[in-house]
Structure 1
């Protein structure tokens, strides 16, 4: 299995590729009604996941912890529920999925906060 920083970066790369395609589709059609969902895909999926990947790459003790795997699962679950949930909310199909995705995403960030305070930043020297 690939290391945790790779998983975060690979997810970020997939998210930004989908986000760019979606942005092109919105521009070509002139329909920007789902721009909020598109923005969250790029922010949470691309920027945030990539930043998590950088942190774990630069902080091997944190990357080696079991919490990093929980963090990835929680962040991924948040992303894949939040973005479709926002689409559903915008199109008036309900807000439940967006609420669930929001909770999962903030829990992911809180877990990251715990990780940063627990492991600091960067490799520890002996």
Structure 2
């Protein structure tokens, strides 16, 4: 694995480790107040990033050009803003960061859809 798929997997694995450690902390403390943020870290950070990495690995022609790099940037910015933003929203200290992270995350997914539609089709079938 190399290139953009590798970078997505590095990000995914970091999110998984942080998410698991956070889950263990919540369990040990008995305080699950922040579980929505923890769930978003695991789903957007671990699952989505890993799926993106798998896609780029099995479809290497889709990994070339500017769009995959923009996709990686949007995906990373999305997860690092939505998770603390959800924490802030739960703690009633503001929702702006969660909203920004949500927009970045959906833009990342829309860009992924564009990449799949434009670079994902096997024209030899």
TM-score of the aligned structures, taking structure 1 as reference length: 0.94
For residues 119 and 63 of structure 2, the distance between their equivalents in structure 1, rounded to whole angstroms, comes to 9
For residues 120 and 111 of structure 2, the distance between their equivalents in structure 1, rounded to whole angstroms, comes to 14
The runs of 5 or more residues in structure 1 that have no matched partner are: none
Aligned residue in 2 for 1:7: 7
**Matching of residues 1-126 of structure 1 within 5 Å:** 3-120=3-120
User: Which consecutive segments of 4 or more residues in structure 1 shift more than 2 A?
Assistant: none
For residues 78 and 37 of structure 1, the distance between their equivalents in structure 2, rounded to whole angstroms, comes to 13
For residues 89 and 65 of structure 1, the distance between their equivalents in structure 2, rounded to whole angstroms, comes to 37
The runs of 5 or more residues in structure 2 that have no matched partner are: none
Number of residue equivalences: 124
Deviation at 1:61, TM superposition (A): 1.1
TM-score of the aligned structures, taking structure 2 as reference length: 0.95
Deviation at 1:120, TM superposition (A): 1.5
Deviation at 1:86, TM superposition (A): 0.2
What CA RMSD, in Å, does the superposition of the two structures yield over aligned residues?
A: 1.5
Structure 1 counterpart SS, 2:94: coil
